[in-house]
Amino acid sequence: MSRGFSNSFFSLLLLAITLAVTTSATPVVQVRDNLVRLPTAKRFNLTGSGTLLARDQARVRKLRARASAKIAGVEFVEDAVGSVPADNQAVDYVVNVGVGTPATTSDSLLVDTGSSNTWVGAGKAYVRTSSSTQTRDRVSVTYGSGSFSGTEFTDTVSLGDGLTITGQSIGVASRSQGFDGVDGILGIGPTDLTVGTLSPDTRTSIPTVTDNLFAQGTIPSDLVAVSFEPTNSPEVTNGELTFGGTDSSKFTGSITFAPLTRTSPASEFFGINQSIRYGTSTSILSNTAGIVDTGTTLTLIATDALQRYQRATGAVLDNATGLLRLTQAQFQNLQSLFFTINGATFELTPNAQIWPRALNTAIGGNANSIYLIVGDIGTPSGEGLDFINGLTFLERFYAVFDSTNKRVGFATTPFTDATTN
Ligand SMILES: *[C@@H]1O[C@H](CO)[C@@H](O)[C@H](O)[C@H]1NC(C)=O
Ligand SMILES: *[C@@H]1O[C@H](CO)[C@@H](O)[C@H](O)[C@H]1NC(C)=O
Ligand SMILES: *[C@@H]1O[C@H](CO)[C@@H](O)[C@H](O)[C@H]1NC(C)=O
């Protein structure tokens, strides 16, 4: 009796404490899984050569080539791949990361789920501190938008909130090309993408920052979630990365997870199976493999799928931008695109399918035109990488890259139906 009483009294006390914590005015970050929240800034710069589409297509070719080289177990040779000169990232999200003890600089790094090496030194010089240790390896990685090579160090890396990773492998660039205005990359893709980037240890993979946060017990799960938002301005801080958990204030409803695809080469990345339908019944892409990538701006689909989309919308190809263009009347009639992922359907509204009109001239377009953000991936369907859900998709849907459970999740957000474009 008295035991039962004290138990229920204790429960009540706990409940009271829990309520006090959860309703307190200043939220306690640790309550929600010790989330590391990193604000990400969106930046836009298309002053170099090549259209937005050409840059995205260059990235796809590099991703494919890197995957093929890895599958074949050979070293990736950049010059084997034809590419347009892509001398800067046109649209990117960057985070500020500290390196060293104490962190002597704050580096602006591109957030990239399509690569997995973290490196610095493209802008500011790397400063060695007491926690810096040079290894015997060199590192090199090629991206669609550039490349870097340099030496490998292990060092302390600080993400926001003073959360630190010790002994993180980083590349320190001695040569980098195509990374104006940033210091390097925060590579948060699958760990295996780092295989072949070290020499002489070409067979060794490198744990990513997410892997190390998990291994060092800082986060409960090897997972990173990204929240981006559509915007009309060329530069804005409106994104957020969380490590180890999801931020329920950034999405609505529940998260639908899809297992990582087994289809190669999409399986080398954060790849999933998905089908795409236009309006109520026009199939654009039947269930097939592709990837989810923060380093691609547009939403790319196989050439034959793009032709079906073009026929359905009545769009014409715009020479200046490489994008499909609609008349005002066609835009009025534009239907939603439905992405079906593991049984759940995500609706990309008409407004979400167009490039923000305030940024038309920044991509070489006409201020009064209407351009679609769905572009040609450059190869026919059936090649194992038939779509890329890029930033224009991720600005409408919350995404969770879950390495522990080998899956990618999506949820709607307060911006899924926004009409900002
Ligand atoms: C934009 O890109 C150009 C050409 O690559 C570069 O010179 C310039 O520094 C970049 N601007 C910013 C703000 O990064
Ligand atoms: C994805 O699609 C491929 C090809 O249709 C199929 O073999 C595979 O089982 C599907 N699911 C996964 C998780 O790969
Ligand atoms: C489109 O661009 C191609 C190659 O740059 C050019 O040959 C063609 O004349 C252009 N078409 C129009 C309608 O401007």
3-state secondary structure 237-280: EEEEEEECCCCHHHCEEEEEEEECCCCCCHHHCCEEEEEEEECC
Q: Report whether 406 contacts 329 (CB < 8 A).
A: no
189-190-195 Cα angle (round to 5): 110
274 lines ligand 2 (CB under 6 A): no
Rounded to the nearest angstrom, the distance between the alpha carbon of 259 and the centre of ligand 2 is 9
253 lines ligand 2 (CB under 6 A): no
Q: What would you report as the CA-atom Rg of the chain, rounded to the nearest whole angstrom?
A: 22
Rounded to the nearest angstrom, the distance between the alpha carbon of 185 and the centre of ligand 1 is 17
Query: By alpha-carbon position, which residue is closest to atom 13 of ligand 2?
Result: 261
**Among 177, 170, 152, CA closest to 62:** 177
Residue type, 45: N
Alpha helices in 98-238 (DSSP H): 209-215
**Structure confidence at residue 88 (pLDDT):** 40
Which residues does residue 282 pair with via DSSP β-bridges, in sequence order? 278
304 carries an active-site annotation: no
- Within 10 Å of residue 98's Cβ, how many Cβ atoms? 18
Q: Report whether 160 contacts 137 (CB < 8 A).
A: no
**Among 389, 293, 383, CA closest to 68:** 383
247 lines ligand 1 (CB under 6 A): no
- Exactly one of 293, 318, 386, 402 is catalytic; name it: 293
Which residues does residue 226 pair with via DSSP β-bridges, in sequence order? 241, 399
Residue type, 414: P
- pLDDT, block means (10 residues), the chain with 421 residues: 41 38 32 65 75 89 86 62 42 90 86 92 92 94 77 93 88 85 91 90 89 93 95 86 93 97 97 98 98 95 98 96 97 98 98 96 93 97 97 97 97 97 95
**Structure confidence at residue 46 (pLDDT):** 74
Ligand closest to Cα of 316 equals 3
Give 17's contacts (C-beta < 8 A, 6+ positions apart): none
Which of 46, 180, 183, 363 maximizes ligand 1 atoms within 8 Å of its Cβ, making it the mutation to test the pocket? 180
Ligand closest to Cα of 145 equals 1
Q: Report whether 292 contacts 276 (CB < 8 A).
A: no
**Structure confidence at residue 43 (pLDDT):** 80
CA distance 142 to 89: 13
CA distance 268 to 291: 9
Ligand closest to Cα of 318 equals 3
The atom of ligand 2 lying closest to the CA of 267 is 14
Rounded to the nearest angstrom, the distance between the alpha carbon of 56 and the centre of ligand 3 is 20
DSSP of 15-50: HHHHHHHHHSSS--GGGTTT-EEEEEEEEE---SSS
- Exactly one of 56, 92, 107, 112 is catalytic; name it: 112
**Structure confidence at residue 26 (pLDDT):** 31
**Structure confidence at residue 76 (pLDDT):** 62
Q: How many helices (H) and strands (E) in the chain?
A: 6, 24
| Contacts for 70-74: CB closer than 8 Å, 24+ residues apart | 70/192, 70/193, 70/195, 70/196, 70/268, 71/264, 71/265, 71/268
Give 347's contacts (C-beta < 8 A, 6+ positions apart): 336, 337, 338, 339, 416
CA distance 57 to 34: 38
Which domains does the chain show, CATH number per domain? Answer: 3-228 (2.40.70.10), 251-412 (2.40.70.10)
Alpha helices in 86-232 (DSSP H): 209-215
Query: What pTM value is reported for the model?
Result: 0.88
273 lines ligand 2 (CB under 6 A): yes
CA distance 40 to 230: 13
Rounded to the nearest angstrom, the distance between the alpha carbon of 319 and the centre of ligand 3 is 6
Q: Which residues of 198-231 are buried (b: 16+ CB within 10 A; e: fewer)?
A: beebeeebbbbbbbbbbeeebbebbbbbbbbbbb
Which of 273, 275, 387 maximizes ligand 2 atoms within 8 Å of its Cβ, making it the mutation to test the pocket? 273
Query: By alpha-carbon position, which residue is closest to atom 8 of ligand 1?
Result: 180
112 carries an active-site annotation: yes
Which residues does residue 141 pair with via DSSP β-bridges, in sequence order? 148
**Among 130, 126, 134, 127, CA closest to 101:** 130
167 lines ligand 1 (CB under 6 A): no
The atom of ligand 2 lying closest to the CA of 258 is 13
